[in-house]
Structure 1
């Protein structure tokens, strides 16, 4: 008899954490994009401009993986004014063989947060200098915090500077991260102050105007840009992309809605110019950082293959731990055993 596993956010937080195994899971997903005939359709997005909201639907099938995820991810960026989180959502894991629903992951965006932070760690692991110790974080929300936590899993970070439009939030984040990560985290009043002397720069905001300027970039730095996941978002000044080794999570996506999209629109990069992808770097098909003084930039727009990977991991962990509630699918249709 077919059963569907239902897992809530508290269930998932107990069994899936932002750790080395989560980073490895996402690394493997990116490598699959480069080495397997992954089926990953374009992102479906609904914009609700009146409430500064958007809903993304992402999915991917990876040959050899028993299940595939369909994720519904709303982002309503005025929600904090109402005392609500900006992001929520859920994932559905279906059987690759039968299409039956195997798990309903009511994660409220938690798994997305984990897999996004893990992607940032993978980018830094393969593109930044191994001895990088100073980080700059743009933003003070959940993803800013998780990106830093993930970064500490792959690089010996000792000093961090955080800048956010809301100084109070930056101060709070700096204080709490100093305590939780046991490293020096300082809030700064201007974005260029955060960049000065940084080995790694991570942007985590929904900004629609560039917040990282080309004049602040120095040799040897690595930039992870993960906020530009729709056409109207733009964290990185387009001129930056002319100075760096550019790597995308998916070039097909970043041409449409990433930082690459804005550089093409500005006429700084030819629309048909080819670029490498993070999965190719992980699979060692192409080099990443070519020298100590090279400047690298990874444009992360979020891919369906990451969602399938983290959802599959969550289901495996749940089965091992006996977590969640198993429901006979006949219960949903009113059938009898």
Structure 2
């Protein structure tokens, strides 16, 4: 009989630190670039009646001997009901037999691995002395991105803009305490991205939020929000000025930030400098000058989820954590 371990969000949190997530995501992208990962297209489901969307991301990673599937949703009226807007579940199966091994909360894993992905990209694309961050959006991922960046950079200031001012102020109050640095709520997106080293966009927007003329030389942009057809946060003409790096070109050209610049003919696929894994294994270079604008288009990949959930699964087994269920 096969026993499956079920892990709650609190158990998952106790098994996965930000630093561990950064290591896991780094290894995930390296495995992807080396061809040791199989990922089918993302399944996207709009639930417009309830202001929601569901993504199903799946794949296998030979390095871990695992098949992983994540069902993740974003239902944007949930906070009014006292529920999180983002909810996810991850299932791990043995690669050789397909026997189910674990079912765990994927909400925290999604948040932390996405934050980790931004930090991994910034580690090779942002200026090494980056100290100031401008954030567009004030939700969970706006927090995770900056917490992960703080692991790798000596941050001194964060500016945040959110369409709802109360969200910006709450973010500033909370994050200044968590980070121990100045976190300032500002009144416009332009102010948030002015005079910073790293720009982070983390919204579900379907229209331009950041204009080309606001982006200064030497800035690195982590474009996190666009992960479905039609989503957009950046002026597409920014792509003409930037060194573009993606998590997966196959995904990003369909659902990432670059979809708009490609469809408008502003760039070609050949203008994309690299997938992040190519830089991590030394096949291509990251930032090469202080003045170049760099951009990471992050759509989120199943390989990241599998790598992070593998860390959780292995540590939970070692600690004897979770609830065992005989499924077969």
Under TM normalisation by the shorter chain, which class is it? Answer: over 0.9
Cα distance change of structure 1 residues 96 and 155 upon mapping to structure 2, 3 Å threshold: same
Contact 2:125–2:287 under 8 Å retained in 1: yes
Partner of 1:320, secondary structure, is: helix
Are positions 1:153 and 2:151 aligned together? yes
Contact 1:68–1:312 under 8 Å retained in 2: no
TM-score (norm 2): 0.97
- The aligned residue for residue 334 of structure 1 is none
- The aligned residue for residue 11 of structure 1 is 11
- The aligned residue for residue 268 of structure 1 is 266
Structure 1's consecutive aligned runs of 4 or more residues displaced over 3 angstroms after TM superposition are 271-275
| CA drift at 1:271 | 5.2
| CA drift at 1:82 | 3.0
| Equivalent pairs, count | 328
Listed one character per residue, the Cα deviations across residues 121-150 of structure 1 (whole Å, up to 9, x for unaligned) are 111111101100010011110110111101
Q: Which residue of the other structure, out of 199, 202, 218, is the alignment partner of 1:201?
A: 199
- The aligned residue for residue 52 of structure 2 is 53
Are positions 1:62 and 2:61 aligned together? yes
Contact 1:251–1:275 under 8 Å retained in 2: no
| CA drift at 1:301 | 0.4
| CA drift at 1:233 | 0.9
Alignment of 1:44-193 (within 5 A): 44-107=43-106, 109-193=107-191
Partner of 2:234, secondary structure, is: coil
- The aligned residue for residue 333 of structure 1 is none
Contact 1:36–1:63 under 8 Å retained in 2: no
Contact 1:67–1:308 under 8 Å retained in 2: yes
Cα distance change of structure 1 residues 249 and 271 upon mapping to structure 2, 3 Å threshold: closer
- The aligned residue for residue 27 of structure 2 is 28
Q: Which has the higher strand share?
A: 2
Contact 2:28–2:307 under 8 Å retained in 1: yes
Structure 1 stretch displaced more, 57-66 or 132-141: 57-66
Contact 1:111–1:311 under 8 Å retained in 2: yes
- RMSD over equivalenced CA pairs, Å: 1.3
1:311 and 1:179 map into 2 onto residues whose CA distance is 29
Instruction: Provide structure 2 residue ranges, at least 5 long, that are not aligned to the other structure.
Output: none
TM-score (norm 1): 0.94
